């Protein structure tokens, strides 16, 4: 089978390789991959900015069809359409695993970074991690469940109340998913972006943002004043989804006193930010690492009910053979969510 692999350490070093199709081991299943999303984490792995083992097949946002059951699997059938949580294994014994937070397990091994992932024709995953795809949910929407579960987990931390203003910086795939989850919770959303994000800001408008602001279109103080005035003294909730240092600084300036700051984007490096604002404003600052199992249930419900849609988020599906064009498109912000799999491109 074909698989997109990070073959050695160092920047780049991705190759499409032929490798043996896995035989599912005890408790596992083999999926025929229908769609695998390219995540910012995959870009960070490509650039050696995120922990991973080599060689490894990339891809942790996966939707597929079961084609083979390993020994001991009785609750699933060949032909079932499923998504898979991204953890291949955790210890199951630490305080985090036992407390329902396997995302924090020190021994966690995830597909796409520590174990071969879904940017391949087939992938082996544990049956215990599977969720059935609702009948009317498409393959591309289903492959969004992993980033959507991460978003749900992040927004659970900031606890949006109906009617609250939520400022989201970064109208990429995670930002647009956060917008939809925030609106489903009753929040009123202001989406921030830069000039390069013009089409993404239009997508945010289509998805129900109350306002979109190009922060490069005017001077910094004017942007801050505009947001503070619109939110009547500062936003109760701000979400950083861009992974850009200046974005974090801006959000610290527009969040109100005793507000909640949620970090969703990854920077891949240290950034300068004025943490004194946490004290001066008595802020609650939260971050999230991947997702927890309960967030997947909520994510699937949002997709099934139509509260979250893939239409404005997914730009298309590229073939594995065209992976280089797909990655270049993501890096250049030439599209929103790009997927590899059975293709339209």
Query: What string of pLDDT tens digits covers the 345 residues of the chain?
Result: 999 999 999 998 999 999 999 999 999 999 999 999 999 899 999 999 899 999 999 999 999 999 999 999 999 999 999 999 999 999 999 999 999 999 999 999 999 999 999 999 999 999 999 999 999 999 999 999 999 999 999 999 999 999 999 999 999 999 999 999 999 999 999 999 999 999 999 999 999 999 999 999 989 999 999 999 999 999 999 999 999 999 999 999 999 999 999 999 988 789 999 999 999 999 999 999 999 999 999 999 999 999 999 988 999 999 999 999 999 999 988 889 999 997 543
Q: Report the alpha-carbon distance of residue 321 to residue 343 in Å, rounded.
A: 10
Determine which helix (DSSP H) or strand (DSSP E) holds 174, and give its type and residue range: helix 173-184
pLDDT, position 343: 53
* Region 2-144+313-341: CATH code: 3.90.180.10
Residues forming beta bridges with residue 57, ordered by sequence position: 5
Query: Quick check: pTM over 0.85?
Result: yes
pLDDT, position 312: 87
Residue carrying structure tokens 């036992």: 98
Q: Report the alpha-carbon distance of residue 10 to residue 328 in Å, rounded.
A: 18
In degrees and rounded to multiples of 5, residue 77 shows phi and psi of -130, 155
| Sign of the Cα pseudo-torsion (50, 51, 54, 57, in order) | negative
**Phi-psi group of 12: left, alpha or beta (phi > 0 → left; psi -120 to 50 → alpha; rest → beta):** left
pLDDT, position 36: 97
Cα distance between the two ends of the chain: 20
pLDDT, position 96: 97
DSSP three-state, residue 141: helix
Q: What is the DSSP string of 188-212?
A: EEEEEE-GGGHHHHHHHHHTT-SEE
- CATH superfamily for 150-287 is NAD(P)-binding Rossmann-like Domain (3.40.50.720)
Residues of the chain with CATH 3.40.50.720: 150-287
Residue carrying structure tokens 């991705």: 14
HEC letters along 280-334: HCCCEEEECCCCCHHHHHHHHHHHHHCCCCCCCCEEEEECHHHHHHHHHHHHCCC
Contact 199, 170 (CB under 8 A): no
Q: Report the alpha-carbon distance of residue 322 to residue 328 in Å, rounded.
A: 10
pLDDT, position 311: 87
DSSP state of 50: S
DSSP state of 104: G
Q: Report the alpha-carbon distance of residue 224 to residue 27 in Å, rounded.
A: 53
Query: HSE (CB half, 13 Å, CA atoms) of 95?
Result: 0
Contact 76, 90 (CB under 8 A): no
Residues of the chain with CATH 3.90.180.10: 2-144+313-341
**Buried b / exposed e across 308-338, counting CB within 10 Å, b at 16+?**
bbbebbbbebbebeebeebbebbeeeebbbb
Residue carrying structure tokens 């289509």: 206
Please, which residues have CB within 8 angstroms of residue 114's CB and are 6 or more apart in sequence?
52, 53, 56, 88
């Amino acid at each position: 089978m074909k698989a997109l692999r990070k073959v050695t350490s160092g920047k780049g070093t991705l190759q499409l390789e032929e490798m043996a199709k896995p035989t599912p081991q005890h408790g596992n299943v083999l999926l025929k991959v229908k769609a695998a999303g390219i995540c910012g984490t995959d870009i960070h792995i490509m650039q050696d900015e995120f922990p991973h083992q080599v060689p490894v097949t990339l891809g942790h946002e996966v939707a597929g069809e079961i084609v083979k059951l390993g020994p001991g699997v009785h609750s699933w059938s060949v032909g079932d359409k499923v998504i898979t949580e991204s953890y291949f294994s955790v210890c199951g014994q630490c305080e985090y695993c036992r407390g329902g937070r396997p995302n924090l397990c020190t021994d966690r091994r995830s597909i796409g970074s520590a174990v071969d992932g879904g940017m391949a024709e087939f992938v082996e995953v544990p049956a215990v991690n599977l969720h059935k795809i609702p009948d009317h949910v498409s393959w591309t929407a289903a492959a969004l469940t992993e980033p959507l579960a991460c978003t749900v987990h992040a927004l659970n931390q900031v606890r949006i109340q109906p009617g609250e203003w939520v400022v989201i910086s970064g109208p990429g795939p995670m930002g647009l998913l956060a917008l939809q989850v925030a609106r489903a919770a009753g929040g009123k959303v202001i989406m921030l972006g830069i000039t390069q994000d013009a089409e993404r800001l239009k997508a945010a408008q289509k998805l129900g943002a109350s306002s979109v602001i190009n922060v490069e279109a005017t001077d910094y103080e004017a942007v801050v004043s505009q947001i503070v005035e619109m939110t009547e003294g500062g936003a109760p909730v701000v979400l950083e989804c861009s992974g850009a240092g200046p974005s974090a600084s801006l959000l610290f300036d527009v969040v109100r006193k005793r507000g909640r700051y949620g970090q969703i984007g990854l920077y891949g490096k240290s950034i300068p930010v004025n943490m004194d604002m946490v004290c001066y404003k008595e802020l609650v600052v939260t971050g999230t690492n991947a997702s927890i199992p309960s967030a997947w249930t909520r994510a699937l419900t949002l997709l099934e009910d139509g509260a979250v849609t893939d239409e404005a988020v997914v730009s298309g599906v590229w073939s594995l053979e065209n992976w280089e064009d797909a990655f270049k498109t993501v890096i250049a912000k030439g599209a929103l969510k790009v997927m590899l799999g059975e293709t339209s491109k």
